[in-house]
Each structure stands twice: as C-alpha cells, then as structure tokens.
Amino acid sequence: MTGAGRTLIGVDAGATHTTAAVADANGTVLVRAEGGPGAVRPGGAAAAAERIRATCADAMGKAFREVRGDVLVVGAAGAGREEERLALEAALEALRIAPRVHVTTDGAIALQSAFGDAAGIVLIAGTGSIAWARLPGGETARLGGLGAVLGDPGSGYDLGRAALRAVGLALEGRGPRSTLADTLLRRLHLRDLDELVRWAAAADVPTVAALAADVLAAAAGADGVANAIADAGADELARHVGALAGRFGRDAPVQVALGGGLLARSEEYRKRVAARVLADVPAAEIRPEAVDAVLGAIHLARTL
C-alpha cells in the first residue's frame, strides 16, 4: 500500500558492488551510496545482509534521514535460488532496516527498470554474467548466472581469467608478448611466471574480475591479444541474448537492454556486445543507455 511521506530504499546487490538508493514516496531518488559485495551465496545470507545494511545506512545518512526506511527492496545476485532468497530476506528483516522487506533477483529489478511490465531481454555482465527475459506472455526466463566455476562467459571474471592465461602463455613462450601482458605484470608487481602462478592461486573472483578494465583499455588501444579476448567475451554474451530471443517468436522484434557493472562502465565493450547481438538477432532493438537496475528496485518498493 502506497502512502505519502514514506521513505523507499532500493538496492542492487552484486558480486562486487552494492548500490543503495533512497527515494521519496513518489519514487524520486534523493541519494545513492556504493558498498561492497552484496550477492548472496549458500550459507552467506548474514554476511550479505550486513554489507547491504551498511550501504543502506550510508545512503540514509547522506539523505539526512533516520537510518530506518519504510520499504526496502533488494535485487540480489544469487537470489534466484529460493533458499538463498528467503535466507537473505530473513537476515535483512532481523537488521530492521525497514519494516517492509522484499528480496528478489538482480534480473527482476533490471527488467523492471528497463521495460516496466513489458517484454524484453536484459543482459547483465559484471563480475559474472546472466541474461533475463520477460516473455510476451509475462513469464520470465534466464540463461547463464552459473558462477565463475561453471560459466559466466563474457563477464569481468571471464575477461580477467583469459588475460591471466594469455600472460602465462607469453611468459612460457607459447603466446605473443603484447602490451596487455606488460601492463598486467606491471600493475600486479610481478616479474616472472612463478610470481604470476602464486598471485593467480591466491586471487579471489572479484580481484580477477577487476583485471577486465585493463583488458578493455588495451583492446581500445588496438592490442591484438586484448581485442581477441574482448571479442570472444562479446560473442559469448550475444549468445545469451540469441538463445532467449528464440522464445519470442520467429522474426519478432525483441527489446534488449544491457546492464551490470562491466557493461555500464565500459561504453566500448557495450558497443562491442551490441554489435554482436545485432549480428545474431537482427530483430533486436537495443537500448543505447545502460540499465540502472536500482531504479527497478525503487519502482517495486512503491508498489509494496
């Protein structure tokens, strides 16, 4: 039930970053805050909830309002599994961020932000990758989101891992020594293959994913190895869209939006992915701007 004077909090909780926005009862965003990873993993609901709470508190402080809101909607990576969704919802309720708490997927808030209740496909690439679709009949479908071990092609982690592999091959003499290799070795303060192996063995998923920025910068500078990595990632992401577009009907126009931290931050990669999508799905109509998923969370909060 909507009401005047309510404070709405919307959260987009990803594997590397969490964005919280505070809005008034009309859905007008007052402030935003950024925090650490808020994605929920099996057994990790309490830790994710605490990081989300801290980001919400930062946003509420910037808004010069009480730390407690009226409605909290969180779209979280990893919340597609009902067990994790319910665990995160319970953990957030216990933290008393707001009396009304609703947890859904990052895909649900991205779809809402991009298309409202209309049909379309949102392709999300950040630390991981996933595509969500709302089909013409109203049902939803997804492809990807299997995690770093099983999938996430075209994601930040995928690009970073491919770059590390290319550096390793170059140091072994089995691949070209491009500027990308020199850039990564210099940035990571590594001198040889042994140091690279030790660094890679200790690096977690967000740390590897952060290397995607170097890959895309090198690709923009016409580095051949980086270009090949970025092209391969774009091809993989486009396949997500192509597979879901087949469920919209033969040659039917399909609205497509691109989102996630990686695609939002890199216009060059977004354009590269868009070109691959159009090659695979000629009927696709791609939104030029990146999806701002937290606005979808705010919209959902207005309806509660």
Predicted local confidence at residue 121, as pLDDT = 98
| pLDDT exceeds cutoff 80 at 237 | yes
Angle, alpha carbons 265-36-146 (nearest 5°): 70
- Residues 6 or more apart whose CB falls under 8 angstroms from that of 83 comprise 42
Residue 165, amino acid: R
| Coil, helix or strand at residue 142 | strand
Q: Decide if 8 contacts 70 (C-beta within 8 A).
A: yes
pLDDT band, very low/low/confident/very high, at 63 (cuts 50, 70, 90): confident
- Residues 6 or more apart whose CB falls under 8 angstroms from that of 78 comprise 15, 39, 40, 41, 48, 84
CA distance 179 to 186: 10
Q: Which domains, ranges and CATH numbers included, belong to the chain? A: 8-112+293-302 (3.30.420.40)
Instruction: Count CB atoms within 10 A of the CB of residue 3.
Output: 8
Place of tokens 């930040």: 156
| pLDDT exceeds cutoff 70 at 66 | no
| Coil, helix or strand at residue 157 | helix
Angle, alpha carbons 46-49-55 (nearest 5°): 145
Angle, alpha carbons 108-110-112 (nearest 5°): 70
Say if strands 140-144 and 100-105 run parallel, antiparallel, or are unpaired.
unpaired
The token duo for 246 is 């087949």
pLDDT band, very low/low/confident/very high, at 3 (cuts 50, 70, 90): very low
Say if strands 254-259 and 120-125 run parallel, antiparallel, or are unpaired.
parallel
Higher pLDDT, 16 or 239: 239
Q: Decide if 193 contacts 173 (C-beta within 8 A).
A: no
Nearest residue to 60 (alpha-carbon basis) of 24, 27, 89: 24
Average pLDDT in the chain: 94
Its pTM stands at: 0.90
Nearest residue to 216 (alpha-carbon basis) of 281, 277, 148, 262: 262
The tens digit of pLDDT for each residue in 157-203 reads 999 999 999 999 999 999 999 999 999 999 999 999 999 999 999 99
Predicted local confidence at residue 4, as pLDDT = 52
Predicted local confidence at residue 180, as pLDDT = 96
The tens digit of pLDDT for each residue in 97-131 reads 999 999 999 999 999 999 999 999 999 999 999 99
Predicted local confidence at residue 249, as pLDDT = 83
pLDDT band, very low/low/confident/very high, at 2 (cuts 50, 70, 90): very low
